[in-house]
Structure 1
Amino acid sequence: MTSSSPAPLFEPIEPPDEGRLSDAIVEHIERQIVEGRLHAGDSLPAERELSRMLAVSRASLREALLRLVSRELLEVRRNAGYRVAPTRAPTLTDPLLRLMQTQPKALADVLELRQGVETLAARLAATRATDKDHDTIAEALEHMEAAQAQHQASEAADWDARLHLAIAEASHNVALVTIMRGLFTVLREHVRRARAAMLVSASGEEDLRQQHRALVAAIRAGDADAAVAAAETHLRYLRQGLGSGQVG
């Protein structure tokens, strides 16, 4: 588990010997995104403040920011500055969503995908998560449990999916994070259907609560093996419920 304080996100940039200053700014901000220190939806400081932090001119900064927007790494909001853009994969997720509506095998196939991706995410998160990551994971768990206690099924499923995404983001593996962000809509629908299957039993709600708590606790403790075991237990439980034909 990471114990040292994270390095500042934005530090003064040395003008390059060759090339433009804006290139160095682009590389600096892009690196924060690739390394998972800036997440989708995170807002950048205002231009004036960011130029001060990077020790660069606002003209060079603005040129760099617009290039990052053109690459779809940042998005600009009217009167609200820049933020990290979400990663989307609509050409992949739309057919999967349709298949999950009509083909039971698609649900099982998505679960197989989750098995590989989420056990890896759990292992990496246990060894790489920062204090900020732990806070984000804990917040998602808290919201999920609150919605579940109030029988708000849709909101509970949404926060359940966000919890798994937060764990993936804590892996700081850009390929894994990109896959999970791109498949978030599919993940949320799969979670909704899996939860519907689990919650038909009296013990289902408590089982899900304890499984998620065990997963989060293992990650916070920095125990990679326990985190993988908790993820596998949770996914095995979902497989049993989905295989029972009770999904709705």
Structure 2
Amino acid sequence: MGTELTEIFTRIEHSRTADEVVQQIESLILEGVLRTGDKLPGERELARQFEVSRPILRDALKALEVRGLLVTRHGGGTFVADVIGQVFSKPVIELISSHRKAAFDYLEYRREMEGVAAEYAARRATADDLALLDTIMARMDAAHRNADFEAEAEVDVEFHHAIGESAHNIILLHTLRSCYRLLSEDVFQNRLLVFTLPGARESLLEQHRAIYAGIAAKDPAAARKAAMDHIAYVEQITAQAERAGDWRRVSRLRRQQRSDQSNN
């Protein structure tokens, strides 16, 4: 879910037209500062931050709504539209979820993209980027200590989101976000199953630490290798989790069949 935002908008210089307000909000969406579901401040507050009249602001918000970048909920405010969801349409998502090969193609694609993102992050991450990654790692450690699979899975996605943001490449950022959207919406049903395999949680945590260490040390080669090794491991453990799930299913059917036979 998005959050309500304050004080990220800056005073409009020069002629203070609706077009300049539009351009600033568009840039914030494009650069990943404004995310899907984020709520914009109220009209009075926005006009104050931009230092424009409310009629100019209304014109700008209307233009952005027409372009599909903002949505207004009656009595509820103005929000960033679900622009990322449109990268994978519902029919495509259904195809991906129902074809096993797509899951492995997804991980193959991610392995390369995650490597690039981590490398760029190691080169470009700012102090604020590193502070956010540090906070996420602390939450990941806490979820691991508490053996909270759901929390670990959520923080895992958030960690990779933050690396994509730290790479400071707009196309890479939105491409990766669309990929993570598939994880968040449980398109791949075995996402949590991997956390139940012996040793998997510990391995995943150490891999995330290695990626973070490479980025924090400003070591692009180490960060890239750690990220690609991580996704390679996820590919391996996903296949293992699927096999384990099949084994449990077959064992359960065998037991049920033999029980039924002995009762006849």
Identify whether the pair has TM-score above 0.5, normalized to the shorter chain: yes
Identity, in percent, stands at 34
Could you tell me which residue of structure 1 aligns to residue 69 of structure 2? 73
Question: Partner amino acid for 1:40?
Answer: T
Alpha-carbon distance change, 69 to 133 in structure 1, aligned in 2, over 3 angstroms: farther
Superposed CA deviations along residues 118-163 of structure 1, whole A, max 9, x for unmatched, are 1122122223334443344334333333333323323321221222
Could you tell me which residue of structure 1 aligns to residue 123 of structure 2? 127
Q: Is the 8 A contact 2:103 2:188 kept in 1?
A: no
Alpha-carbon distance change, 55 to 144 in structure 1, aligned in 2, over 3 angstroms: same
Instruction: Tell me how far 1:9 sits from its aligned partner.
Output: 4.3
Q: Does 1:222 align with 2:218?
A: yes
Query: Bigger shift: 189-198 or 225-234?
Result: 189-198
Which of 232, 235, 238 lines up with 2:231 in the alignment? 235
3-state secondary structure, aligned to 2:71 = strand
Give 5+ residue unaligned stretches, structure 2.
Answer: 1-7, 246-264
Superposed CA deviations along residues 166-202 of structure 1, whole A, max 9, x for unmatched, are 221222322222222223342344787356336422x
Question: Partner amino acid for 1:206?
Answer: E
Could you tell me which residue of structure 1 aligns to residue 159 of structure 2? 163
Q: Does 1:58 align with 2:54?
A: yes
Within 5 A, what are the aligned runs for 1:113-192? 113-188=109-184, 189=186
Distance 2:113 2:146 in 1: 30
Larger radius of gyration: 2
Query: Bigger shift: 142-151 or 223-232?
Result: 142-151
Question: Partner amino acid for 1:196?
Answer: L
Could you tell me which residue of structure 2 aligns to residue 3 of structure 1? none
Instruction: Tell me how far 1:64 sits from its aligned partner.
Output: 0.7
Could you tell me which residue of structure 1 aligns to residue 107 of structure 2? 111
Q: Does 1:197 align with 2:194?
A: yes
Q: How many residues align?
A: 232
Instruction: Tell me how far 1:46 sits from its aligned partner.
Output: 2.9
Question: Partner amino acid for 1:14?
Answer: H
Give 5+ residue unaligned stretches, structure 1.
Answer: 1-7
Q: Is the 8 A contact 2:118 2:224 kept in 1?
A: yes
Instruction: Tell me how far 1:60 sits from its aligned partner.
Output: 0.7
Which of 207, 211, 214 lines up with 2:207 in the alignment? 211
Alpha-carbon distance change, 50 to 198 in structure 1, aligned in 2, over 3 angstroms: closer
Question: Partner amino acid for 2:89?
Answer: P
Alpha-carbon distance change, 61 to 128 in structure 1, aligned in 2, over 3 angstroms: farther
What TM-score, normalized by structure 2, do the two folds share? 0.75
Distance 1:41 1:217 in 2: 31
Could you tell me which residue of structure 2 aligns to residue 97 of structure 1? 97
Distance 2:132 2:109 in 1: 24
Could you tell me which residue of structure 1 aligns to residue 15 of structure 2? 15
Distance 2:24 2:96 in 1: 35
